[in-house]
């Protein structure tokens, strides 16, 4: 939160965050994502790199999936959240009739 505050003190138009939830308690993670959503709503553009795909897709407009340093999927957050491959691999969901490797 302190790093986000410092970054925004200069009236930033873009906030770039790399794993803001890493190692934090779940209640703090919820606060972080709520703050990111509020910033986004206020007109600040946010570039978020995050392994917590569920939380990230809930607040994102667009998303990209990287595997081994390469982009393998891109689209709206809603499209990626509904994608069976993304759901099985990154969100922990398995669609009916599907098996995971």
pLDDT tens, position by position, 3-22: 777 877 888 889 999 999 99
For the chain, the helix, strand and coil percentages under 3-state DSSP, each to the nearest 5: 45, 25, 35
What pLDDT band is residue 41 in, cutting at 50, 70 and 90? very high
Give the start-end residues of each E strand in 1-101. 14-18, 45-49, 62-67, 70-76
Q: What is the pLDDT of residues 47-84, one digit of tens each?
A: 999 989 889 999 999 999 988 999 999 999 999 989 98
Domains of the chain by start residue, with CATH: 13-91 (3.40.50.300)
What is the model's pLDDT at position 46?
A: 95
* Choice between 7 and 43, residue whose per-residue pLDDT is larger: 43
């Amino acid at each position: 939160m302190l790093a986000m505050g410092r970054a925004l003190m200069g009236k930033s138009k873009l906030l770039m965050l790399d794993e803001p939830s890493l190692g934090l308690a779940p209640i703090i993670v919820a606060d972080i994502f709520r703050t990111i959503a509020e910033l986004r709503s206020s007109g600040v553009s946010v570039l978020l790199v995050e392994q917590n795909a569920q939380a990230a897709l809930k607040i994102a407009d667009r998303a990209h999936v990287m595997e081994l340093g390469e982009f393998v999927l891109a689209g709206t957050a809603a499209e990626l959240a509904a994608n069976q491959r993304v759901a099985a691999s990154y969100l922990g969901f398995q669609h009916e009739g599907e098996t995971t490797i």
